Amino acid sequence: MRDVKIYRESDVPDMSILDGKIVAFIGYGNQGRSQALNLRDHGVNVIVGNISDSYRERANLDGFETFDIPEAIKRADVIFLLIPDEIQCDVYKTSIFPFLKSGSALVFAHGYNIAFNFIIPPKDIDLLIIAPRMIGIGVRECYLNGEGYFSFIGVGQNGTGKAQEILLALTKGVGGLTKGALETNFKEETVLDLFTEQGFGPASSSMLMKPMDILLEFGIPAEAILIEMILSGKMKYTFNGIRDFGVINGIKTMEDRSQYGILSRTIRYDKIFREISEIQKPILQYIEDGGFAEEWEKKLTKLKFKVIKFFASRVGFGRLETKVRKSLQMPEVDLWAETPYPTEEEIIRKQEIKQKLEDFQKYPEF
C-alpha cells in the first residue's frame, strides 16, 4: 500500500517566503473569498482579479483592492485560479497567459485542466495545486473555529526551484495545515475526484433508487418514503457516523437487531458487489487514460448531457420528488441565492451548541 505524506502546521514554521509577494485571487466565489480572507488574516498582501460583476463588488466590500484580470496578473507574484474549470482555458488564454510574469506561481484548486493538458503553462512558472476538500463557506468557517479541513496539495512544475516552499506557505496561509494536507499531484487529484463521481456515486445510486419504488408499490405514501430516505437527513447522519466513527465501528452505534439485519442481508449482495468492481475497473482505466476528458470535450457529449439531464428531472424519481415537496409545502428554493456567510457570533454559538452535544457522542454504542 502506498504511503502518503501529510503536512501539518509544525512542518511549516513560517511563511517568510511570501514576504513582499503579491497574491492575486482570480475569481471571488465562496472558495476564492474564503481562501483570500484566510490568507489576508495571515498578513499576506492579497488582491482580487475579476470581471466587473457582483463578485467583484463583494471583494471591494471585503476591503480588497480589485482589478481586471490582466491587470491583477501583471501585479501578482502568486495567482490563485479559482474560476470554474470550464471557463478556465479561455480566461487563461486571453487574460492570463499574455500577462504572466516569469517566476510567478500559478495555483489551481482542481487538477483537471493541467492533468489532461488543456492548459500548459510556460516552464519558468511554479505550478501548484491546493485543493481543499471542503465547501467554500466551510473553508472560512473551519479556519475561524480552529477545526481546519483536509486538502490535497502538490507541485506540478518547479519553475523557480522554490515551488515546494511556496506551496507549503500558501497552504498554511489559507488554513489548510490545521487538519492536514495530503500530498498529491494534478493527475491523482483529478482521477480520485472523477472516480468518486463516476465509479462510487452511480454504483451507490443504482442500489438506492429501487427500494423507494418497492415501498411505494407496497402502499406506503411517497411523502413518508421521502422523509425516511432523504428528508429526515438519516442518510446524512449515517455518512457523518461513518466519518466520525469509521465504517467498521459506525455500525456499532446501531441496535443489535439492525446490525444483524444489515450484516446478514448484505452478504446476499456478494455477486452484485463483484460485478460492481468489474464495472468500476474500466471506468477508472478510462479516466486515467484521458478517455473521459476527451469524451467530455466533444460537442456531441454536451448535447447528450443536456438530453440526459432533461429526462432525469422529468421522469420517475424526479417527478415524484417534485410532487412530494409540493405536498409537504416545501418552499421552492432559489438555487443560486447566496448562502449568507456565518457571522462570528453564529460561529461561536455553533461551537457552544457543539459543546452541549458532546455528551451524546459519548454514548453511541447500544
Task: Tell which positions 87-146 bind other proteins, by CB under 8 A.
Answer: 112, 133-135, 138
111 DSSP 8-state letter: S
Tell me which amino acid residue 325 is. Answer: R
Which residue from 183, 196, 167 is spatially nearest to 107, judged by alpha carbons?
167
120 vs 312, which CB is nearer to other proteins?
Answer: 312
**344 CB contacts (<8 Å, ≥6 apart)?**
144
CA pair distance 365, 252, nearest whole angstrom: 6
SS (H, E, C) 172-210: HHCCCCCCEEEECCHHHHHHHHHHHHHHHHHHHHHHHCH
Q: How far is the CB of 136 from other proteins (least distance, A)?
A: 11
CA pair distance 111, 154, nearest whole angstrom: 10
Segment contacting other proteins (CB under 8 A): 40-48, 89-97, 101-109, 250-258?
250-258
Give the residue, chosen from 17, 22, 144, 251, that forms a contact with other proteins under the rule CB under 8 A.
251
Give the residue, chosen from 93, 101, 123, 236, that forms a contact with other proteins under the rule CB under 8 A.
236
* 260 contributes a contact to other proteins by CB under 8 A: yes
100 vs 109, which CB is nearer to other proteins?
Answer: 109
Q: How far is the CB of 200 from other proteins (least distance, A)?
A: 5
Give the residue, chosen from 20, 161, 219, 340, that forms a contact with other proteins under the rule CB under 8 A.
219
Residues 281-320 that bind other proteins (CB under 8 A): 281, 283-284, 288, 292, 296, 301, 304-305, 308-309, 312-313, 317-318
Q: DSSP secondary structure string, 207-237? A: HHSHHHHHHHHTT--HHHHHIIIIIT-HHHH
Give the residue, chosen from 234, 298, 323, 348, that forms a contact with other proteins under the rule CB under 8 A.
234
Give the residue, chosen from 89, 120, 279, 348, that forms a contact with other proteins under the rule CB under 8 A.
279
Contact between 124 and 158 (Cβ < 8 Å): no
Helical (H) or strand (E) element with 152: strand 150-157
120 vs 272, which CB is nearer to other proteins?
Answer: 272
Segment contacting other proteins (CB under 8 A): 52-60, 88-96, 121-129, 261-269?
261-269
Catalytic residue among 33, 56, 58, 110: 110
Residues 199-218 that bind other proteins (CB under 8 A): 199-208, 210-211, 214-215, 218
CA pair distance 130, 63, nearest whole angstrom: 24
User: Is residue 115 classed as helix, strand or coil in its secondary structure?
Assistant: helix
Give the residue, chosen from 53, 338, 344, 365, that forms a contact with other proteins under the rule CB under 8 A.
365
CA pair distance 181, 202, nearest whole angstrom: 28
Q: How far is the CB of 338 from other proteins (least distance, A)?
A: 13
Give the residue, chosen from 54, 94, 102, 361, that forms a contact with other proteins under the rule CB under 8 A.
361
Sheet order of strands, 180-183 included: 6-7, 180-183, 150-157, 126-132, 105-108, 78-81, 22-26, 45-49, 65-67
Grid cell at residue 353: 451548541
114 vs 203, which CB is nearer to other proteins?
Answer: 203
Q: Is 110 a catalytic residue?
A: yes
45 vs 151, which CB is nearer to other proteins?
Answer: 151
Q: How far is the CB of 73 from other proteins (least distance, A)?
A: 24
123 vs 208, which CB is nearer to other proteins?
Answer: 208
Q: Mind telling me the catalytic residues?
A: 110
